[in-house]
Structure 1
Amino acid sequence: MKATITDITGASIEVTDLDKAIEQCKLCIDSPYKMPSGQTVGENHRFMLSQLEKVKQSKQNRRAG
């Protein structure tokens, strides 16, 4: 299932493997490294993870309904 989310800077990201994207975000949520935008990589991954979890929940709700 393809989905499109945005990163913390507003850039669009196309997600082709939801579970792998969630796994990757979880691995990086504690990263202290700064991005050019001023936020940390961890903040960016937490921001994206919240969107990915909503997409996954929506996908599960559609299957159940």
Structure 2
Amino acid sequence: MKRTLSRPRNGRMLAGVCAGLAQRFGLSVGLVRLLFVASLLLPGTQVIVYLVLWILMPNENHA
């Protein structure tokens, strides 16, 4: 099965970016969400990267 980078229709919390990344790399969705929230404690552009991925990642049915 080929794993593509897309935002799934099911299992979304906000935009589905974390769920899509977890699905693509074979990780737990909870782990990816936890890592993202923990990364917010560090200085950086995490929110901007999330928004860019939200815009660039297609929905699952369009991939």
TM-score in terms of structure 1 length: 0.31
Greater share of residues in strand: 1
Q: Could you say which structure has the greater relative contact order, defined with CA pairs below 8 angstroms and 6 or more residues apart?
A: 2
Query: Rg larger in 1 or in 2?
Result: 1
TM-score in terms of structure 2 length: 0.31
